[in-house]
Amino acid sequence: MASAVIDIVQAGPLVTVQDGGRPRLMRYGVPASGPMDRGSFAIANAALGNADGAAGIEVSVGGLALECMEGSVTIALAGGGFRVTLGGHEHPSWIVAELKAGMRLTIRPGLWGSWTYLAFAGRLDAKPWLGSASTHGPSGFGGGRLMAGQRITIADAERRPARIGELDCPVSARPRHTVKVVLGPQDRFFAPETIETLLSQPFTLTDAYDRMGVRLAGPSLRPDAVLDMPSEPIARGSIQVSGDGVPAVLLADHQTTGGYPKIATIISGHLDGFAQLRSRAQVAFSAMSPQAAVEATRTRRLSQARFLARLRGD
Amino acid sequence: MNSHKQGFPRFQPVAEHALLVELGDTIDASINAQVRRLDAALSAAPFPGFTEAVPAYASLLVGFDPLVSDHDLVETAMTALLREPATLRPKGEPREVLVCYEGEFAPDLDAVAAATGLTREAVIAAHLAGDYSVFMYGFAPGYAYLAGVPEAIRLPRKPAPVRGIAAGSVLIAGPQCLVTTLIMPTGWHIIGRSPTQILREETGRPFLFEIGDDVRFRRIDRASFDAAAKLSARRSA
């Protein structure tokens, strides 16, 4: 089958190859990585009828411009509200379209959102590391960061004309300004008033925001007890508080252990919406019980699976 | 869920997909051995819905699929496993890590000597004499935390981290020793550089150590370092 050859004309920082990630290696210090907004990434692949977790490109607010040099391939875009032009025409930002030789695709930040996903009806040729093409930001291992001048190849590129058209952006893909957390695992290091502050006051995402996490600005959450804990494992979504009381939310490329206490952990169903907030956006946290969080996830995963199956045309 | 100030094991929920099992709150060989026994017991008899376990100094993060399990079921499963701890696999030969303590590879060696009242050579000798084993991986890919730094050269970490520390740096802080695998900031003391690759891009055996392995450092000079570094660069090319 034919290949499509694509030249990267411009790529902002944090534009990387991602697939379903590399889970189950945290015991070696390796986070799962994968897309910052897993739901939108899954929609981009499902809209093309691709396998779950097929490698695509995660585009940050730094934007991406590319030109198809040879061949043609059906592409899908999902995630955020970006400004998209294809072959000189403005397009909706959630779409399945045809990319043909000579056409330029540009993706620029639009009204909302931090991340969007470009998926291909074909196999993005990317270097795997430990079984996944996902880029691990701090090392650059995996498919890697995209750079201007780079050439990428889509093997077995297909045209899937029946899939072309605009995609619906589900409400669950919107940025989420109120985020549910489960307290802990180290909430015991904080006074009850400090927990109350976390749950009642708004926080602001700072510019210290990358794939490892985002630092928050807001009231101090200074730990109550003297910090003397051996490093403990960290999960994606942990809200870690440094000794001087500044919280940070740890995201896709997070460190796997840390010696600072984690006051609370964002439930996984709200992480996509949190990651779509931009620097300087406000966020508020509210607590739910572990059991309520489990039940919320069961409901959400079921409806998400139905949505994706319908999109794939199963 | 349990959240007593005292008393281990302590079970702490993490979002809706994990339970943190804490077996102590200090860096201690017997507590770490308990963590490894629990990890081994879990891997031999995983409960339905188990996803992954992450051992640390004194705790084990146990992940689960919330479609199949929940925190209470996992706590029950882990409590049962704690009653029947697994025996640890017998230790193999210590893993050897080469280290060069010369020149720009050891920017903090003089400061460590000054703070401990030892000569540079005595600091090096103490470091080489340590009885090291891998307590955990953490922080970043391939960062293996080795416990066993001798008392004589245990120092608190620096007040502020220094940025841009080269991969392969040999660091010490308190009872811990670490050989870095990436360029990263660190507040630990840099006393040497190793050409031994702990994290490799190759697929067969990407990590040099398993948790629990014993580790021995062997001193090399600059010429041997350069030769070894060239060899491993060629291997990964």
| 3-class SS letters over chain B | CCCCCCCCCEEEEECCCEEEEECCCCCCHHHHHHHHHHHHHHHHCCCCCEEEEEECCCEEEEEECCCCCCHHHHHHHHHHHHHCCCCCCCCCCCEEEEEECCHHHCCCHHHHHHHHCCCHHHHHHHHHHCCEEEEEECCCCCCEEEECCCHHHCCCCCCCCEEEECCCEEEEECCEEEECCCCEEECCEEEEECCCCCECCCCCCCECCCCCCEEEEEECCHHHHHHHHHHHHHHHC
**Nearest CA among B169, B226, B141, B120 for reference residue A33:** B141
- Buried-exposed string B161-183: b where 16+ CB fall within 10 A, e elsewhere: eeeebebbbbbbbebbbbbbbbe
pTM of the model: 0.93
CB A182 to CB B59 under 8 A? no
Q: In tens digits, what is the pLDDT along chain A, a chain of 314 residues?
A: 699 999 999 999 999 999 999 999 999 999 999 999 999 999 999 999 999 999 999 999 999 999 999 999 999 999 999 999 999 999 999 999 999 999 999 999 999 999 999 999 999 999 999 999 999 998 899 999 999 999 999 999 999 999 999 999 999 999 999 999 999 999 999 999 999 999 999 999 999 999 999 999 999 999 986 666 788 999 999 999 988 899 999 999 999 998 889 999 999 999 999 999 999 999 999 999 999 999 999 999 999 999 999 999 97
* Minimal C-alpha gap between B55 and chain A (Å): 6
Q: How far apart are CA B236 and CA B202, in angstroms?
A: 7
Of A29, A257, A296, the CB nearest to B142: A29
Q: Which residues of chain B have pLDDT under 70?
A: 1-6, 201-203, 235-237
**Residue A89, Cβ neighbours under 10 Å: how many?**
9
* Minimal C-alpha gap between A137 and chain B (Å): 11
Interface of B with A in 197-236 (CB under 8 A): 201, 203, 206-207, 211
With vertex at residue A288, the alpha carbon angle to CA B68 and CA A183, rounded to the nearest 5 degrees, is 95
Q: How far apart are CA B198 and CA B216, in angstroms?
A: 13
Chain A environment of B236 (Cβ under 8 Å):
none
Of chain B, the end-to-end C-alpha distance in Å amounts to: 51
Residues 6 or more apart whose Cβ sits within 8 Å of residue A299 = none
Residues 6 or more apart whose Cβ sits within 8 Å of residue B235 = none
List B53's β-bridge partners, or say none. Answer: B62
Chain B environment of A228 (Cβ under 8 Å):
25
* Minimal C-alpha gap between B26 and chain A (Å): 6
Residue corresponding to tokens 């998926």: A119
**Peptide bond preceding A247 in cis form (omega within 30 of 0):** no
pLDDT for res A229: 78
Of A23, A238, A268, the CB nearest to B52: A23
Strand A178-183 with A165-166, pairing: unpaired
CB A237 to CB B66 under 8 A? no
Phi then psi for residue B137, to 5 deg, are -100, 145
Does any CB of chain B come closer than 8 Å to the CB of residue A136? Answer: yes
Of A185, A256, A298, the CB nearest to B66: A298
Of B70, B143, B207, the CB nearest to A294: B70
Q: How far apart are CA B169 and CA B195, in angstroms?
A: 9
Residues 6 or more apart whose Cβ sits within 8 Å of residue A256 = A26, A29, A30, A31, A233, A234, B54, B137, B138, B139, B140
Chain B environment of A140 (Cβ under 8 Å):
none
CB A231 to CB B67 under 8 A? no
Does any CB of chain B come closer than 8 Å to the CB of residue A303? Answer: no
- For the record, the structure tokens of A143 come out as 């498919």
List B136's β-bridge partners, or say none. Answer: B145
Does any CB of chain A come closer than 8 Å to the CB of residue B145? Answer: yes
* Minimal C-alpha gap between B107 and chain A (Å): 24
Chain B environment of A256 (Cβ under 8 Å):
54, 137-140
For chain A, the residue count is 314
pLDDT for res A1: 66
Chain A environment of B55 (Cβ under 8 Å):
27, 233
Does any CB of chain A come closer than 8 Å to the CB of residue B184? Answer: yes
Of chain A, the end-to-end C-alpha distance in Å amounts to: 24
Q: How far apart are CA B199 and CA A192, in angstroms?
A: 42
**Peptide bond preceding B9 in cis form (omega within 30 of 0):** yes
**Cβ A35 vs Cβ A176: under 8 Å:** no
- Buried-exposed string B199-221: b where 16+ CB fall within 10 A, e elsewhere: bbeeeeebbbbebbbbbebeebe
**Nearest CA among B73, B78, B64, B16 for reference residue A264:** B16
* Minimal C-alpha gap between A164 and chain B (Å): 34
Longest dimension (CA), chain B: 59
CB B13 to CB A136 under 8 A? no
Best residue of B8, B39, B50, B54 to probe chain A, by most A CBs closer than 10 Å: B54
**Nearest CA among A208, A217, A283, A195 for reference residue A251:** A208
Count Cβ–Cβ pairs < 8 Å, chain A vs chain B.
145
pLDDT for res A129: 92
- For the record, the structure tokens of B60 come out as 């084990």
Does any CB of chain B come closer than 8 Å to the CB of residue A255? Answer: yes
**Cβ B166 vs Cβ A57: under 8 Å:** no
Which fold is adopted by the domain A178-305? Cyclophilin (2.40.100)
**The one-letter amino acid at B47:** F
Where are the CATH 2.40.100.10 domain residues in chain A? Answer: 178-305
Q: How far apart are CA A126 and CA A16, in angstroms?
A: 11
**Residue A82, Cβ neighbours under 10 Å: how many?**
24
Residues 6 or more apart whose Cβ sits within 8 Å of residue A172 = A39, A272, A273, A300, A304
**Cβ A59 vs Cβ A82: under 8 Å:** yes
| 3-class SS letters over A51-105 | CCCCCEEEECCCCEEEEEEECEEEEEEECCEEEEEECCEEECCCEEEEEECCCEE
